[in-house]
Structure 1
């Protein structure tokens, strides 16, 4: 099972990958980073993407049927944000302990394959062993 560093390096093997991070989305802290950051600062990017993850996971429109939000049971699997030049993929990681983590991969739109990246990121997130 890959750890954070290995997961991030595998994410950078995706076509068009510019940067990647593993972020704890409640605090907004980056647990690991590799490559470039969209705004030049990995910690700021982690905080900004964590805000997006929190909003998405906590809105009732995305809640599990039957009501209340439980972090480990969020039905949100991933978030895709597209810009004119890039794709941002945020994939929530399910863990065996109480934590709220996602993997963020920043991709150059001209060189990335969004469908392939999404499938490979899902595989990486499933294999990620947080220690």
Structure 2
């Protein structure tokens, strides 16, 4: 594996370390996500239907936010080379086209023996939590 592409090694990480990624949700994001996943629930893609729901309009797929958490893990912290082990999520509020979602990952626990890092995960819009949970990642130790 190319060392210049690798993210943090286990030895570089500390509890409380955090990283974020922000993305403004577009019409194209929702349509492409529906196409990629096959999730064409009308709450996401049909304005007339969505207006008849409790949300009074279209909302982004909840798993789109989960993808933003994956972005932080795979590109920022722990970064390239990390392996996602598990994730739990609670969807707290809808995300709409035009919202800027900030996904943040904060290290909660490091298990050196098992090479596991547990993180709190959250997605926010204008400071309001829309998704939160916890994830576990397997992280490489620094090569000898």
Name the TM-score class by shorter chain: 0.3 to 0.5
**Larger % of strand: which?**
2
Q: Kindly name which structure, 1 or 2, has the bigger radius of gyration based on alpha carbons.
A: 2
Q: With the length of structure 1 as denominator, give the TM-score of the two structures.
A: 0.34
Q: With the length of structure 2 as denominator, give the TM-score of the two structures.
A: 0.32
